Chains A and B, each alone.
Chain A
Amino acid sequence: MKSINKGYMLGEQKLPILKDISFSVERGEYVAILGPSGSGKTTLMNIIGCMDVMDSGEYYLDGMPIHETLEDDLTEVRNRKIGFIFQNYQLIPTYNVMQNIVMPLLMRGLTYEEAEQQCIETVRLLGLEERIAHKPSELSGGQKQRVSIARALVGHPSILLADEPTGALDQASGKDVLKLFRQLNEMGNTIVMITHDLNVAQSAKRIVRIVDGKLIE
């Protein structure tokens, strides 16, 4: 990322959120972006996740110039290169665990059966075998987050993007998730985690601080 700027209109005035942010993440890294609320970390995550557009700057993901890519192509990028893990899990309540997990693969044009086949390994890794037919409402917070992680993992993305992954969990479940992140990183996954909690951030191998829209390494 090079000189990223992003602001929102507040009435007639533009409120700058991200100010000239430049940083890079190498393949296989486990980075935590740490900052208090209002520091712009969620906006940064949205830009990294190709869900929001920057006002200026350059962003390359796997060598692809995201700042020049159109929305329709960004859909493809989100599907193939990014795995999202949200604070509040963002599972679709009407689908069961397996149906939630296979979604990114269905969007690649696989049939449900093919996608299900591909997911078995991930489901086993996350210990969700017993839960695949359950609806999200029937799961605990920790289990929901595992489903969310499984959904992010199944497509083998270039980067796992986690927004406050332990924010809604109790301490034990939170620890489990962080342990899982370590494990995933050791397996070669690139992880970028956003948090306001230093303890959580310390589980990452590298911490980047964001204060008032500016990055401090």
Chain B
Amino acid sequence: MRFSEIFRLVWLNLSQNKFKVILTSIGIVVGSATIMMVLAIGTGGKMEVAEQFKNLNAGAIDISYEGGNSGFGFNMGGGRGAGSGNGSFGGSNSGRMLSGGGMPSGGGMPFGGGMPSGGGMPAMPSGGGIPFGGGMPSTGEGFPFGEMFGESQVNEEVILTYDDAETLLTFVPGITDATISYSTTTSVEGGDLEDASYYTVAGVLHNYATISNLELAIGDFLTEDDNDNKEKVCVLGANVANAIFGNAYSAYNNTLYIDNRSYVVAGVLTEMGSVASGISPDTAIYVPYNTGVKYITGNSISPIVTVIAEDVTQVESVMQNVETELKESYPNTTFTISDAGSKMDAASASNETLSLLLVSMAVIVFIVGGIGIMNVLFVSVKERTNEIGILKAIGCSRKAILLEFLLEASCTSFVGALIGVMLSLAITPLVELLSVRVELSVGGAILSLLFGVITGSIFGFYPAYKASRLVPVVALNQE
């Protein structure tokens, strides 16, 4: 019997039992829709992660000091005091006073096991606000001096400077670039603004744009000269430019007032979307580091030094070297050191775990759906035993009967899978209402169709095989 004719018979049978086909394939409908949504949500999640971290360089390591102090009165530190003691950038650097040289090195004892940037860091992509900082007392075990001599908390205020960044760039191997930045919130006027509004103002250096993957829609980023001469220029994030001037073109070369001082807009960034870490570029105003310190913040800043590891796979060891290097300069201070890569990894990993969970769910749904198909086909074979008998009596081969029933199963599940794909298209807007990003793809649709048909065919095989093995005379006499 020709395949096309078997297919015609299958079509005839299915088209006359449409309702039964739909009922049979409900398991496959749900399974396919699940697979499609799982893939779409998985892809959406990945893209979300990628977008949220697009302002992060994979090799970026942030170093910040967030107040508090973990030092103890007894300073075991030592090191290259003179080396790190050269001129401070932003302002006072009183902390340096404590890092006197000449003391016997205690092998970093005050920090004992209390290294704050360990495994806990990558937990969430919540950015710089990781509460380890100096606030966490390093209760290094086996550190008897504290009790012996009594703890004397010294609130040394450490303000990282560009020199620290340069020190790291010079002394830590495997670092290609280093920058320093801070952010504050201050009042801004000008343009279309009727009242003063508060915006995030970030003091940055010329290389910040490259390090944070910022792109300019118009104009140029801040230059080294801007910083050296403390020029009152700024670069606006896309949303800021739109809010204050209507659009990027109007903003360019226009003037706005930050903390009542006029600044010329040197450039406007392209829109970046929401980001998971650091300063959100769309809503920030970038000014030269020194300009900001001089006119806006004074010395009350807590800057972040960002260094870029040359080799992304070496981030861990670079972080360790950074910590060791910093300890030389600030033996009593614990810095928060975090790397962008591990934040990305953590976010990707949690996303993948979720995807895996959803895929497992889809597989279970498919198995249940497949068993459903098998049951209905068994009933169908039973119901149509007489028909199978007639077909056998008039010379239908086992192969043709097997193929007919198998094709019926495959077609039924194909219909189910198709309905499933359409269902997932229909429910996508609902899922998106729940703030879940869904990225439907043709590949996902094909895969779920394929999975549906394969499941139906696998589970349809046994009933089809049973049908093909019926003895003609027995089948024919079955009522």
Q: Mark A residues whose CB is within 8 Å of B.
A: 46, 49, 51-52, 72, 75-80, 84, 86, 90-95, 99, 103-104, 106-112, 151
Contacts and interface: CB of A to CB of B under 8 A. Distances in A.
Given A78-B392, A90-B386, 13 more contacts: A51-B393, A72-B397, A75-B392, A75-B395, A78-B472, A79-B395, A86-B476, A90-B476, A107-B1, A107-B394, A107-B396, A109-B2, A151-B394
A75 B1 contact: no
Contacts of A108: 395
Interface in B1-55: 1-2, 4-5, 8-9, 12-13, 16-17
B4 A111 contact: yes
B312 interface: no
Contact of B12 (A52, A91, A94): A94
Given A51-B472, A94-B16, A95-B12, A112 B396 contact: no
B400 A84 contact: no
Nearest to A83: B394
Contact of B476 (A51, A72, A104, A112): A51
Contacts of A151: 394
A75 to B, nearest CB: 5
A90 B397 CA distance: 18
A49 B392 CA distance: 11
B4 A92 contact: no
Contacts of A112: 5, 8
Contacts of B392: 51, 75, 78
Given A75-B398, A111-B4, A84 B16 contact: no
Interface string B384-395: 001101111111
A46 B473 contact: yes
B154 to A, nearest CB: 92
B394 A84 contact: yes
A51 B394 CA distance: 10
9 contacts: A51-B392, A51-B472, A51-B476, A72-B397, A75-B397, A78-B394, A84-B394, A109-B1, A109-B2
Interface residues of B, number: 26
B300 to A, nearest CB: 86
Nearest to A96: B12
A107 B393 contact: no
Going nearest first, the 9 A-B pairs with the smallest beta carbon separation are A79-B395, A51-B473, A78-B395, A51-B472, A52-B473, A106-B5, A90-B390, A104-B394, A107-B395
Scoring B4, B397, B398, B473 by chain A CB atoms within 10 A of each residue's CB, the highest score goes to B473
Given A75-B395, A79-B394, A99-B12, A107 B473 contact: no
Contacts of A91: 390
A104 B8 CA distance: 15
Nearest to B15: A94
B5 A104 contact: no
A78 B394 CA distance: 6
A155 to B, nearest CB: 8
B391 A103 contact: yes
Given A90-B386, A92-B390, A111-B4, A76 B395 contact: yes
A113 B168 CA distance: 84
Contacts of A75: 392, 395-398
Nearest to B2: A109
Contacts of A92: 387, 390-391
B16 A111 contact: no
Interface in B392-436: 392-398, 400
